[in-house]
Amino acid sequence: MADIYLDNNATTRVDEAVVAAMLPFFTEQYGNPSSMHGFGDKVGRALRQARVQVQTLLGAAHDSEIVFTSCGTESNSTAILSALQAYPERREIITTTVEHPAVLTLCQHLEQSEGYTVHYLKVDKQGRLDLDAYRAALSPRVAVVSVMWANNETGTLFPVREMAELARSAGVLFHTDAVQAAGKIPLDLKSTAIDMLSLSGHKLHAAKGVGVLYLRRGVRYRPLLRGGHQERGRRAGTENTAGIVGLGVAAELVQQHMEYANTVVCRLRDRLEQGIIAQVPNCFVTGDPHNRLPNTANIAFEYIEGEAILLLLNKAGIAASSGSACTSGSLEPSHVMRAMDIPYTAAHGTVRFSFSRYNTADEVARVVEAVPPIVAQLRKLSPYWDGNSNGPVRDPQQAFAPSYA
Amino acid sequence: MWEYSDTVKEHFFNPRNAGAVKDANATGEVGSISCGDALRLTLKVDPQSETILEAGFQTFGCGSAIASSSALTEMVKGMTLEQALTISNQDIADYLDGLPAEKMHCSVMGREALAAAIADFRGEEWHDDHEEGALICKCFGIDAAMIEQTVRANDLRSIEEVTNYTKAGGGCATCHEGIENVLTRIWGAAPAPAPVLSTAEVVPCGGLTNLQRIRRIEQVLESLRPMLQRDHGDVELVDVDGNVIYVNLVGACTGCMMAGATLGGIQQQLIEALGEFVRVVPASEMKRVAAGGR
Ligand SMILES: Cc1ncc(COP(=O)(O)O)c(C=O)c1O
């Protein structure tokens, strides 16, 4: 039986059609698009087409608003650092506690090393933002707001359209990390007040190593990489031509599958979630189940640890991911779970299943069958679980009295 | 994904001695659910001979935590308490054919649970100086609070000093920035960079003569002594056999929970000073190693 891949928020399989579109750009169309000869010219055309394909996916007003980069992380860094350079007198940043490290680590660095003041907006237990706190933080001292469109761990969606409007009224640039949202839900940027947006190719069935920064026309901008005139001087460096062409095709395909992803795939996700919850005691869905990506399920299994679950799932041929500390080599569970105040008894045992259009009902049935015995097996080993009552030991923090805590 | 040895996987997928021992007369509990791993070790000890008859574990934790617990129970069965106390966390890791550096704390947890269980049997109180805080050095499991405390108490100014006193930073060196941040937080200005071996110290390509080598080893041990003596311990060189260096850890260090980590730290220092891979082994294990068995 083929292995089951349910870790599509980490990365996705490159679509066959994308691979086919990319291949000629390695051995035949290998010219430099900047060159003044036929080799370069054809490649230049291909890049223009890809730019339009991405523009269409994002619903951007102009194709020149699309800047190709090397990844989502680069797009995030470029957007935030650009805003800071463009408004040097503004020394504050607004972001959230649940951003991807691509934003969070940068903000922490700017705070510690460059003396910026960063407002980290908190989330509630469902991972929702408090817009009043946001309004209160907005001021002319803020250079940029950076808020993710969808959270990578829980899939929770943030009201970025509304937040961008508020930023615009306050005269503040608004950036969104849409690495998880792009290709999964319609974005239609031209109808929003979003100034900058990040996208990553490998999350939507294109190759790794290609990303996009959307830059609204007229937004003040300072490049991160200076050098040649590529991307109209906004991102120097010879283009990853094959990657960009592939991303164009992937953008088109993902748009064609948008409805499928939001109906059929979404129902598969729901079926998996309900199937597991119905059979496994002491587990729950994290994030905001009523407002999230159609492909993401994040389930917290209490009193067991995520890495152990993943190892057993892997043995059963199922690939998922976890916010557990041990999968990252730290001792702290995921900052997203901590921000949502998920108790430690559950935060270490969160498992994320993330779907793509390639997943099937058959696979869901297999996972729903495999998970309950895995959880039971680990709980049998856990000092916090009572096999007789098949429930947690009474008052787990008390029952287990270690020599240190 | 972690690179686990086949033995780790085997002990994780088929754990030995899972569950609590019935009529246990020694229990050791370490860790906590907030730390992400917790272990309860239960032993049945024959009161006359002080031999461990049965061992069982209950573990909340990752694959290597469960494997380390399973390995520990297999190792201690049939041992006397005295013998069991000589097990270091490195022994547990070796039994499992190694653990990833970031997972060494799992073996430390096993070692601690064992010490706690034995203390429980003897009616003693066991506690270690484990502090809550952000983990900085993953190789030796040293957190910010521990580093900060030691830095203040000893007026430490450089990464090298921090490594000497706490072992933090003595392994893979990726946490040097984290240590620097702690130093900067305490002292303000940027700390002295980690020393690069001066040319005079660089090991010649031809290698060292035996005598030079032993002198170099003694120098390193000498430099570590003050830190061990502060903890009322000491170290002495017993023998050098190829790339195995036998030492005696004396005083407080022998029974100390961190003996394994101490050896690891010493080993790291020696590897750096000698420019070759060496293994530091307690002299008490000389026969065992010589016999080629574990
Ligand atoms: C929300 C979010 N932002 C940014 C990134 C980083 O993207 P990339 O891997 O292309 O740098 C990721 C990928 O994990 C993500 O999920």
Query: Lowest-confidence range among A188-197, A235-244, B211-220, B243-252?
Result: B243-252
pLDDT recorded at residue B216: 87
Confidence band of A405 (pLDDT split at 50, 70, 90): very low
Confidence band of A303 (pLDDT split at 50, 70, 90): very high
Q: Same domain for A170 and A268?
A: no
Burial of residue B294 (number of CB atoms within 10 Å: 0-12, 13-18, 19+): exposed
Does some domain include residue A83?
yes
Task: Report the nearest-CA residue for atom 15 of ligand 1.
Answer: A179
User: In the listed set A256, A287, A303, which residue is the last one of a domain according to the structure?
Assistant: A256
- Would the pLDDT of B259 be above 70? no
Tokens 């430390």 -> residue = B108
Q: Do A305 and B39 touch (CB under 8 A)?
A: no
Please give the span between the terminal C-alpha atoms of chain B, in angstroms, as a whole number. Answer: 29
ipTM: 0.84
To test the contact with chain B by mutation, choose from A305, A312, A350 the residue with the greatest count of B C-beta atoms within 10 A, namely A305
Confidence band of B199 (pLDDT split at 50, 70, 90): very low
With b for 16 or more beta-carbon neighbours within 10 A and e for fewer, the B135-152 pattern comes to: bbbbbbbbbbebbbebbe
Q: Do A405 and B65 touch (CB under 8 A)?
A: no
E-state strands within chain B: 26-32, 37-46, 51-60, 135-137, 142-143, 233-241, 244-251, 279-282
Point out the ligand 1 atom lying closest to the alpha carbon of residue A73: 11
Tell whether B40 lies on the interface with A, counting CB pairs under 8 A: yes
| Pocket lining for ligand 1, CB < 6 angstroms | A 71-73, 100, 102, 148, 152, 177, 179-180, 200, 211
- Tell me the percentage of chain B whose pLDDT exceeds 70: 82
A330, A344, A404: residue with CB nearest B130:
A404
Q: Do B36 and A326 touch (CB under 8 A)?
A: yes
Chain B CB contacts of A405 under 8 Å are 32, 34-35, 132
Q: Same domain for A321 and A357?
A: yes
Domain span at A140: 16-256
Q: Same domain for A148 and A287?
A: no
CA pair distance A140, A169, nearest whole angstrom: 11
A&B contacts, CB < 8 Å: 109
Task: Write out pLDDT tens, residues A267-294.
Answer: 999 999 999 999 999 999 999 999 999 9
User: In the listed set A256, A282, A315, which residue is the last one of a domain according to the structure?
Assistant: A256
Nearest Cα neighbor of B64 from B141, B149, B163 is B141
Cα distance from A8 to chain B (closest Cα, Å)? Answer: 16
pLDDT recorded at residue B204: 42
Average pLDDT over residues A232-250: 97
Confidence band of B230 (pLDDT split at 50, 70, 90): low
Q: Same domain for A365 and A327?
A: yes
How many domains does chain A divide into? 2
Q: Same domain for A275 and A244?
A: no
* Residue from A106, A200, A244, A352 whose mutation best tests the ligand 1 pocket (most atoms within 8 A of CB): A200
- Tell me the percentage of chain A whose pLDDT exceeds 70: 96
pLDDT recorded at residue B18: 95
Q: How many CB atoms lie within 10 A of CB A133?
A: 12
Does some domain include residue A276?
yes
Which is more confidently placed, A221 or B260? A221
Task: Write out pLDDT tens, residues B129-153.
Answer: 444 557 788 767 778 888 888 888 8
- Would the pLDDT of B201 be above 70? no
Tell whether B38 lies on the interface with A, counting CB pairs under 8 A: yes
Does some domain include residue A90?
yes
pLDDT recorded at residue A48: 96
Cα distance from B200 to chain A (closest Cα, Å)? Answer: 36
Ligand 1 centroid to Cα of residue A179, in Å, is: 6
Nearest Cα neighbor of A107 from A348, A288, A335, A352 is A335
Q: Same domain for A141 and A265?
A: no
- CATH of residue A275's domain is 3.90.1150.10
- Would the pLDDT of B260 be above 60? no
* Residue from A78, A180, A292, A336 whose mutation best tests the ligand 1 pocket (most atoms within 8 A of CB): A180
A315, A330, A382: residue with CB nearest B58:
A382
B15, B60, B128: residue with CB nearest A384:
B60
Q: Same domain for A297 and A318?
A: yes
Chain B CB contacts of A395 under 8 Å are none
Query: Lowest-confidence range among B69-78, B252-261, B272-281?
Result: B252-261
Catalytic positions of B = 35, 106
Find, in chain B, the residue whose alpha carbon is nearest to that of A307.
Answer: B62
With b for 16 or more beta-carbon neighbours within 10 A and e for fewer, the B208-243 pattern comes to: beeeebeebbeebbeebeebbeeeebbbebeeeeee
Q: Same domain for A263 and A369?
A: yes
pLDDT recorded at residue B30: 86
Pairing of strands B26-32, B37-46: antiparallel
- Would the pLDDT of A70 be above 90? yes
CB contact residues (below 8 A), chain A span 374-403, against chain B = 380-384, 396-397, 400-403
Q: Same domain for A251 and A270?
A: no
Q: Over chain A, what is the mean pLDDT? A: 94
Task: Report the nearest-CA residue for atom 4 of ligand 1.
Answer: A72
Residue type, position B237, single letter: L
Does some domain include residue A1?
no
Does some domain include residue A358?
yes
User: In the listed set A256, A285, A308, which residue is the last one of a domain according to the structure?
Assistant: A256
pLDDT recorded at residue B198: 39
pLDDT recorded at residue B206: 47
In degrees and rounded to multiples of 5, residue B270 shows phi and psi of -70, -40
pLDDT recorded at residue B257: 41
Chain A CB contacts of B72 under 8 Å are none
Query: Lowest-confidence range among A18-27, A125-134, B271-280?
Result: B271-280
Tell whether A326 lies on the interface with B, counting CB pairs under 8 A: yes
Does some domain include residue A389?
yes
Ligand 1 centroid to Cα of residue A87, in Å, is: 26
With b for 16 or more beta-carbon neighbours within 10 A and e for fewer, the A288-305 pattern comes to: bbeebbbbbbbbbbbbbb
Does some domain include residue A403?
no
DSSP per residue over A337-362, as a string? HHHTT--HHHHTTEEEEE--TT--HH
pLDDT recorded at residue B231: 63
Contact A225, A236 (CB under 8 A): yes
Query: Lowest-confidence range among A170-184, A211-225, A322-336, B24-38?
Result: A322-336
Domains of chain B, each with CATH number or no CATH = 6-121 (3.90.1010.10), 135-187 (1.10.10.1100), 210-290 (3.30.300.130)
B33, B59, B105: residue with CB nearest A381:
B59
pTM value > 0.80: no
- 3-state class (DSSP) for residue A48: helix
pLDDT recorded at residue A236: 96
Confidence band of B191 (pLDDT split at 50, 70, 90): low
Q: Do A308 and B33 touch (CB under 8 A)?
A: no
Cα distance from B181 to chain A (closest Cα, Å)? Answer: 10
Please, what sign has the CA dihedral across residues A304, A305, A309, A311? negative
Q: Same domain for A172 and A219?
A: yes
In degrees and rounded to multiples of 5, residue A284 shows phi and psi of -155, 160
Q: Same domain for A92 and A206?
A: yes
- Would the pLDDT of B213 be above 70? yes
Confidence band of A396 (pLDDT split at 50, 70, 90): low
Can you read off the two tokens belonging to residue A133? 């706190």
Query: Lowest-confidence range among A108-112, A137-141, A231-235, A384-388?
Result: A384-388
- CATH of residue A248's domain is 3.40.640.10
Task: Write out pLDDT tens, residues B118-127.
Answer: 999 999 877 6
- Tell me the percentage of chain A whose pLDDT exceeds 90: 88
CB contact residues (below 8 A), chain B span 146-175, against chain A = none
Find, in chain B, the residue whose alpha carbon is nearest to that of A312.
Answer: B13
Q: Same domain for A51 and A139?
A: yes
Q: How many CB atoms lie within 10 A of CB B293?
A: 7
Ligand 1 centroid to Cα of residue A102, in Å, is: 7
Chain A CB contacts of B18 under 8 Å are 380-381
pLDDT recorded at residue A326: 64
Contact B21, B54 (CB under 8 A): yes
Does some domain include residue A149?
yes
Chain B CB contacts of A306 under 8 Å are 62
pLDDT recorded at residue B188: 83
Tell whether B112 lies on the interface with A, counting CB pairs under 8 A: yes
Chain B CB contacts of A404 under 8 Å are 30-32, 127-128, 130
Task: Report the nearest-CA residue for atom 12 of ligand 1.
Answer: A179
Average pLDDT over residues A212-235: 96
pLDDT recorded at residue B155: 87
